[in-house]
Amino acid sequence: MTKFLLPFIATFTFFVSVSAQLKSPSEFLGYELGTQFTRHHEVVDYYEYLAKEAPNRVKLTVYGKTNERRPLLLAYVSSAENISNLESIRQEHLKDTEEGGNTSKAIVWLSYNVHGNESVSTEASMKTIYELLTSKSQYLENTVVIMDPCINPDGRDRYSNWYNQYKNTPYQVDYNSKEHHEGWWNGRSNHYMFDLNRDWAWLTQVESQQRLKVYNEWLPHVHVDFHEQGMNNPYYFAPAAEPYHEVITDFQRDFQVTLGKNHAKYFDANGWFYFTKEVFDLFYPSYGDTYPTYNGAIGMTYEQGGGGQGGLGVITAIGDTLTLKDRIAHHFTTGMSTVEVSSQNASLLNSEFKKFYKNQNFKYKSYVLNGDKDKIDALKSLLEKHKIEFGSPSSGSVKGFDYNTGSSGSMPITNNSLVVSTNQTKGTLVKVLFEPNAKLSDSLTYDITAWSLPYAYGLDAIASTSLVASNEGTTESAVSPSIAPDSYAYITDWNSLKDAKFLAELLKAGIRVRKADHPFSIEGQSFERGSLIITKGDNQYKEDFLKILQTTSGKYGKSITSSKTGFVDSGKDFGSSSIKMINKPKIAMLSGGPTSTLRFGEIWHFFEQQLYYPLTVIDDAYADQVDLDDYNILILPGGRYGDHFNEKQLQKLQQWVKKGGKIIAMGGAIDALDGENGFGIQKKEMENDSSTNMPSPHKNSERERIKDAITGAIFKTKVDNTHPLAYGYGKDYFTLKLGNASYNYLDGGNAVYLEKNAKPFSGFAGSEAQKKVMESLVFGVENVGSGQVVYMVDNPLFRGFWENGKLFFANALFMVD
């Protein structure tokens, strides 16, 4: 008997010895955890240390890099046996999404610091992994814990470096001190100022794209997204607030309660305050709690008070001192409690996970989409990233809910049609992303209430209650077209962002390009307004002209029509004044001051990562010193402008526009141009209805306020596609309206607008807000002297995912003259 015990005793002794020898975060870093903000490279060092010292229980991988080249890490933490069988555990677990696996392990994924200045969670992650490897290692016998110590290291280091630069020594708890007040660009966002916690579904950012590749290889049972909120708020944990999306199962709801009660047990014992079932709902699909939920997990947000206001310590509104150590303790407690409960319920989590993927029976079985090939391809690219299957339907037609009319209808199937079915592994996610109007159980919600992909991508669509048969689909590779060298001109269409990228690259290469302001036909082919015309005569002195055109058209999959003449069959000949040269614009954008970092970041990302066109950023602090004559276009991103520009500054802008400059004013920037000393845009005034002035009970005040709110709803607008701002569009456009700001129609140049009795096709809009936005401008152009002001009331670049709005912005840059 003794000889059988000896190997066990030796292994146990080795395990205890290694655990005892592991350095705590404080021992490794050389300072007590919670007395400093640990920079990302130091966090990486600690995780690498643990993986080196306990390689049989920690597997560390680098799953990508940020825009600023910081590594993105995942640590897999479990028992030695589980780590040695990690790949087989993963594969067996994924079988539960199909025919059914045979695993007994719980998979828990803990995500930290998606918002950079909510900086406590990365600190808490180091304490969590240390305790899992030492005092709480018993949780790991039947549980694999996947830890992402910092989703947003660029933002976190931005905050940590700023705080270390401005803090008092050791720190100042007075909230008025500089160390509690970040500047315009705080640490919340990533490099491009995007909120990564709104990007799980849209995948516009490199951090999200790289993370989701790995996430979809695991699909954990439980996912926690660690956050911070305002410094005066107590801790928030599950269960979440209403609205819950209707696809969320009873078990997913109930298990949140199970976890919440366990957390409460520890918080009660310590006398810590907390709240549940308020504020943070489970509806918008692109969060770190909802996206996992729609993929079968128990997805949760945990919110600690503090954030960028907290620093190392701060006195709260009720006179308590909140320290970083306190914040670490709270996040550590809920993290460990989550692993504990998951370990205790591993069998239940596995069985319910199987049921989630088995019990999918939705009203709409298939979504069939038609439209421009570039837009179809863009949607396919997104679906592939989510591992959503799609195909090509057979010929004929399909009946069902028509997205364009909001009622029953039919649509012919074409060679370019796309079908996406809910009869697949990712069926629940398909329903959530494609359904025409998500069901709201409560209109008080934390984010936008409409996002349907057919509207976002500008595609005709039918939601069918029948399963539409299809062949497996893929995204086709671009085919390099043949360019006839002896042609007079080369013509191509203008319908999508890909066309704008093509144009931008030609302009950067010094190729001269013209645009058609009228439809025309030539040599038996018809072309619409906005079509690009590249003549050999305009480029006769450009070396390698044909080679550049050939390479660029191949890169973007552009079909080029070669013409041996400029004499059209109908329309305007190529020498007409209606065939205008597109000037290569020099573009500047205002930053800082009144601009929103989120709105600025959307435009910055659009130029650098989508359009690939140069942009000069001018900060508000020195904008008065800049000679605007050096630029053709000035972009004013959305923000809180009010009366930001004084009379002298407005006069300077007016004179520059009159000389031929172009302002693109977006969202709140329009307010700065409205008024007596401004331009022609005017806010819409509403008649005051005395019947609405009756006092309401205090308890209903929040619900009264939402009558004036639009929480991200989709409206159908009218489009004048003869206007250069609307080239490439049809007669309708579905806009995502984010608020009740409304402006009167312009005297001319109303390219996109809402008519009388406009109502949301999808999402929530309060009754008073709907009245306010009726008969109002969406996108328009005011001619001022030789220049223009482009007004964009709604945001065509919102979060980088409203794909069908991007051509409007490209038109504002290149087509409006």
* Residues 514 and 577 sit within 8 Å (Cβ to Cβ): no
Torsion angles phi and psi, residue 339, rounded to 5 = -65, -40
Amino acid code (one letter) for 693: N
pLDDT bin (cut points 50, 70, 90) of residue 688 is low
Distance CA 817, CA 581 (A): 10
State the average pLDDT over residues 73-85.
98
Check whether 199 has a pLDDT greater than 90. Answer: yes
Query: What is the Cα Rg of the chain in Å?
Result: 29
Least confident stretch, 13-22, 276-285, 359-368:
13-22
Nearest by Cα to 555 from 628, 481, 466:
481
The per-residue DSSP string of 116-151 comes to TT-THHHHHHHHHHHHHHTTTGGGGGSEEEEEES-S
Residues contacting residue 416 through CB under 8 Å, at least 6 positions apart: 370, 371, 373, 376
Burial 469-484 (b: 16+ CB within 10 A, else e): ebeebeeeeeeebebe
Phi, psi of 363 (to 5 degrees): -55, -50
Distance CA 762, CA 406 (A): 9
Structure-token pair, residue 233? 């708020």
Pairwise CA distance, residues 377 & 803, whole Å: 12
**Between β-strands 633-636 and 662-666, what pairing exists: parallel, antiparallel or unpaired?**
parallel
Which of 499-513, 680-694, 758-772 has the least mean pLDDT?
680-694
Looking at residue 11, what is its pLDDT?
42
What burial class does residue 52 get, using C-beta atoms within 10 Å of its C-beta: 0-12 exposed, 13-18 middle, 19+ buried? exposed
Planar angle of CA 507, 509, 514, nearest 5 degrees:
35
Q: Which residues of 698-735 are buried (b: 16+ CB within 10 A; e: fewer)?
A: eeeeeeeebbbbbbbbbbbbebbbebbbbbbbeeebbb
Q: Evaluate whether 784 touches 679 at the Cβ level (below 8 Å).
A: yes
Query: What is the per-residue pLDDT for 360?
Result: 82
Q: What is the pLDDT of residues 531-561, one digit of tens each?
A: 999 999 999 999 999 999 999 999 999 999 9
pLDDT at site 19: 63
Q: What digits encode the pLDDT tens for the residues 526-538?
A: 999 999 999 999 9
Q: Which pLDDT band, with edges at 50, 70 and 90, does 699 fall under? A: low
What distance in Å separates the CA atoms of residue 343 and residue 756, rounded to the nearest whole number?
57
For residue 3, pLDDT beyond 50: no
Query: Beta-carbon neighbour count of residue 513 at 10 Å?
Result: 22
Angle, vertex CA 599, rays to CA 155 and CA 748, nearest 5 = 170
Cα separations in angstroms, 360 against 142, 294, 387:
28, 12, 17
Q: What separation in angstroms does the CA of 640 have from each of 265, 289, 326, 617, 632?
A: 44, 30, 35, 18, 24
Rounded (10°) angle between helices 324-344 and 120-133: 50
Instruction: Fill in the amino acid letter for 249.
Output: T
| pTM for this entry | 0.95
Residue 8 has pLDDT above 70, yes or no: no
Question: In 3D, which of 249, 291, 461 has the Cα closest to residue 364?
Answer: 461
pLDDT at 101: 84
Mean pLDDT of 189-218: 98
pLDDT at 18 over 60: no
SS3 310: coil
Q: What is the mean pLDDT of the chain?
A: 94
Tell whether the torsion through CA atoms of 181, 187, 191 and 195 is positive or negative: negative
Identity of residue 505: E
**CA–CA dist 409, 461 (Å, integer):** 10
* Residue 482: predicted pLDDT: 78
Q: Which H helix or E strand runs over 271?
A: none
| Beta carbons within 8 Å of 378's beta carbon, 6+ residues apart | 457, 496, 497, 498, 803
Helix H or strand E encompassing 734: strand 732-737
Burial 127-138 (b: 16+ CB within 10 A, else e): bbbbbbbeeebe
CB atoms within 10 A of CB 486: 7
First to last CA, the chain: 91
Q: CB of 623 within 8 A of CB of 646?
A: no
- Per-residue model confidence (pLDDT) at position 422: 97
Q: pLDDT-based confidence at 7, cuts 50/70/90?
A: very low
Q: What is the mean pLDDT of residues 508-523?
A: 98
Strand ranges (E), 56-123: 58-65, 71-77, 106-112
Check residue 15 and give its pLDDT: 47
The C-alpha angle 544, 550, 556, rounded to 5 degrees, equals: 130
Is 322's pLDDT higher than 90? yes
Tell me the sheet residues that pair with 489: 535, 563
Give how far the C-alpha of residue 648 lies from the chain's centroid of Cα atoms, to the nearest Å: 38
Give the model's confidence band at 10: pLDDT under 50 very low, under 70 low, under 90 confident, else very high.
very low
Q: What number is the average pLDDT over the span 168-183?
A: 97
Q: Are 229 and 305 in contact (CB under 8 A)?
A: yes
**How does 540-566 read in b/e, with b if 16+ C-beta sit within 10 Å?**
eeeeebeebbbebbbebbbebbbbeeb
pLDDT, position 100: 78
CB 399 within 8 A of CB 468: no
* Pick from 193, 212, 209: nearest CA to 607: 193
Whether the predicted pLDDT of 99 surpasses 90: no
Kindly state the average pLDDT of the residues 259-269: 98
Q: Round to whole Å and give the CA distance between 172 and 180.
A: 9
pLDDT tens digits, one per residue of 374-426: 999 999 999 999 999 999 998 899 999 999 999 999 999 999 999 999 999 99
pLDDT over 70 (residue 576): yes
SS3 state of residue 468: coil
Beta carbons of 207 and 151 less than 8 angstroms apart: yes
Q: Is the pLDDT of residue 12 over 70?
A: no
Q: What is the pLDDT of residue 479?
A: 61
Secondary structure of 652-665 in HEC code, one letter for each residue: HHHHHHHCCCEEEE
Q: Give me the sheet containing 579-581, strands edge to edge.
A: 561-563, 489-492, 532-535, 514-516, 579-581
Q: How many helices (H) and strands (E) does the chain have?
A: 23, 36
Residues 702-756: pLDDT tens digits? 668 889 999 999 999 999 999 999 999 999 999 999 999 999 999 999 999 999 9
